[in-house]
Amino acid sequence: MDVVVFGATGYLGSHAVEQLMIAGHKVKCVVRPQSDIDFLKSISADIHVVDFENSDLASVIEKGCCVLNCTADTRMHLSDLQRSKVEIDLTSHIFNVAAAAGAKRFIQLSTVMLYGFDRPDHAIDEQYPPNPKYSYSRIAARRERVLLDLAEASPMELIILRPSNTLGKRDTSALPAILPLLEKGGFPVIGGGEWRYSNADARDVGRAFAHLVDLTIVGSEIYLMKGYDISWLDLKAAIDNILGRKSRVFNLPRGLALVLGGVMEFVFPFGSSPPLTRFMAETLSSNTLFDDSKIRSTGFLPKYDLHETLIDALGEKSLH
């Protein structure tokens, strides 16, 4: 099936494009005029520059195709209204245009963060009810509800993918935040670093999208996806091994991190990038484990382990 990708220049969107092309799909990348398209050019992707606000999006969507939406405002410190402009308003618009153009399937990139932090320590699956606490999670959950409501009145199929935390090339959050302190011999953790979380190689997220394009479904489906479970200290040990040096743990107590995050949210205006928020503090100091048996039962299996993920993500910084 032909695939039209919105948000193709983003971190996970670019991996989706690459893996879709590797899987043999004809891929059309829809990007904004100001987007950095260097990577897409490097893999000879079919690029269509479109002004999302003022252009006819239907012109890039063909009848019977699959539309993959990876658009997102990834800034951590936004009001609900600011975040809704992309996550809900733009997403709803793309869905409606795709349905009117006769697209067969709509796949939405979502997030496990919509579950909030009131979760058990064991792995949860798609049936566990979301309980979002912060704006990032709250709007993600609302986006899914809006899409599910729209899909009920549309013949277009809907699949929502909730990937776990990810690492990979072109990441703009996790590794870039860690590497500066690593260069000075430190590794930052909150609350001791023994919290366990599900992680995935960004390439495997792209492979999951490629798998879902042709998967037979009935109605709307939601899938969790992960690669492996680790702790922050596991990540530290793996990076130390690859870089050939031992970093020192820099631990920030959880309570203090939450207080500092709250202060920074108050001091920094919406739209800016505070170095720490309460959402970030809870993300780094909570067990975040997921059961992705549902997507695995359809035949999808992740390919990459933590070591392979880091070798690829670190690139020239790795020794092996």
- Span 277-310, pLDDT tens digits: 999 999 999 999 999 999 999 999 999 999 999 9
Question: How many angstroms separate the CA atoms of 205 and 292, rounded?
Answer: 13
Question: How many angstroms separate the CA atoms of 72 and 249, rounded?
Answer: 32
Query: How would you list the strands of the sheet with 105-109, edge to edge?
Result: 46-49, 27-31, 3-6, 66-69, 105-109, 157-163, 220-225
Helix residue ranges, H only, the chain: 11-22, 38-42, 80-84, 91-100, 135-152, 174-183, 202-213, 232-243, 254-267, 278-283, 293-296, 306-314
Q: What is the pLDDT of residue 144?
A: 98
> What are the φ/ψ torsions at residue 47 (nearest 5 degrees)?
-105, 130
Question: How many angstroms separate the CA atoms of 147 and 149, rounded?
Answer: 5
Predicted confidence (pLDDT) per residue in 60-103, tens digit: 999 999 999 999 998 889 999 999 999 999 999 999 999 999 99
Q: What is the pLDDT of residue 52?
A: 84
Residue with more model confidence, 74 or 18:
18
Structure tokens at 21: 């092309």
Q: Is the per-residue pLDDT at 318 higher than 80?
A: no
Q: What is the pLDDT of residue 247?
A: 93
Name residues whose C-beta falls within 8 Å of residue 80's C-beta, 6 or more positions apart in sequence.
Answer: 135, 138, 139
Does any domain span residue 40? yes
Does any domain span residue 6? yes
| Secondary structure class of 203 (helix, strand, coil) | helix
Q: What is the pLDDT of residue 317?
A: 64
Q: How many structural domains does the chain have?
A: 1
Q: What is the pLDDT of residue 320?
A: 47
Does any domain span residue 214? yes
Question: How many angstroms separate the CA atoms of 20 and 26, rounded?
Answer: 8
β partners of residue 27: 3
Q: What is the pLDDT of residue 292?
A: 98
Structure tokens at 86: 């992309």
Q: What is the pLDDT of residue 53?
A: 78
Does any domain span residue 180? no
Distance (Å) of CA 3 to CA 13, 177, 301: 12, 33, 21
Number of neighbours of residue 145 by Cβ within 10 angstroms: 12
Closest CA to 15 of 172, 147, 145, 131: 172
**Average pLDDT rounded to a whole number, residues 115-122:** 93
Does any domain span residue 209? yes
Q: What is the pLDDT of residue 147?
A: 98
CATH number of domain containing 41: 3.40.50.720
pTM beyond cutoff 0.85: yes
| Secondary structure class of 36 (helix, strand, coil) | coil
Does any domain span residue 139? yes
Predicted confidence (pLDDT) per residue in 154-166, tens digit: 999 999 999 999 9
Any idea what the Cα angle at residue 137 is, between residues 132 and 139, rounded to 5°? 105
Give the dihedral of Cα atoms 107, 112, 118, 124; nearest 10 deg: 90
**Mean per-residue pLDDT of the chain:** 94
* Pairing assessment for the beta strands 46-49 and 248-252 based on DSSP bridges: unpaired
Question: How many angstroms separate the CA atoms of 261 and 256, rounded?
Answer: 8
Residue 159, domain extent: 2-168+200-228+290-303
**Average pLDDT rounded to a whole number, residues 208-221:** 95
Does any domain span residue 313? no
Does any domain span residue 275? no
Residue with more model confidence, 177 or 17:
17
